[in-house]
Amino acid sequence: PKSSSMSDKAEQKPQRTTVKSSAYAKIILHAVQYPHDEIHGALVGFWNDSELIVQDAMPISHSSPTKPIVDMSLRLIDAYCQSIEGINGNNKVSIVGWYTASDRLVDSNKISQGGDENDSSPACFAGQAAHRITGMIGSVLNDENRPILIALKNSNIGNSLLGIDETTLVPFEEDKWKHWTKPIAAENFIVEEGAAILARDGFKRSTKVHDFEGHLEGGALNVSRCDWLRNPEISKSVAQ
């Protein structure tokens, strides 16, 4: 079966992933903006041979997303990706994964199962979140490549906001049983240099991150004001 051959390939040749500064900053600032809520968003990028480039993050919700929210947001993101096609040369930009963060600093379920109580237990929450959304996002992911799931290690966010730590993102991929609980080795997951500094500077400027859920709240005026697809304030900082 195709899934079996993909798993064998994954075991033979690890995929290298690079997260660009803009994507990193949006994920961190999205979590900071909603410190008492779980957050979710899509990852956008492209594959360059065996390397996945996570070019951008599209914040979707600051609550557990419903299927209509996920469906609508992913359709808009897919259309946006098609509209910017060609900017990266021959690389086709598409939805390459998902990111999420728990609303809790420590996940009591993992601790009760023998986990490290000093860990923010992203694996436990990420697995639960992936289980909920896999059916919703599966149709837009490229089966020929290997998408990624990123969970935030909440206990490290403070260091990210000081510009001194870029290990807040914890990456996972599917295992051979199609569970999103297989950790990606640190040597195969790279955050672009200076990403934490960009997040720190955005935090100092109180840069607001718009998500799709917020885009729908507040009536027509808010819809036109909240550019959740681009979040231009962060994009401008990257260009400077």
Q: Which pLDDT tens digit goes with each residue over 95-118?
A: 898 999 887 765 433 422 334 444
Write down the pLDDT at residue 147: 85
Single-letter code of the amino acid located at 104: R
- Does residue 192 surpass a pLDDT of 90? yes
- At residue 73, φ and ψ (nearest 5 deg) are -65, -40
Cα dihedral 80, 34, 196, 233 sign: positive
Q: For 126-163, how does the pLDDT look when each residue is reduced to its tens digit (9 = 90+)?
A: 555 565 555 555 555 655 678 888 989 888 898 899 98
Residue 232 has pLDDT above 70, yes or no: yes
Q: Which residues contact 188 (CB under 8 A, 6 or more apart)?
A: 14, 15, 16, 17
Model confidence band, residue 89 (pLDDT cutoffs 50, 70, 90) = low
pLDDT higher for 6 or 142?
A: 142
pLDDT band at 9 (very low <50, low <70, confident <90, very high): very low
pLDDT for residue 1: 45
In the predicted model, what is the mean pLDDT of the chain? Answer: 78
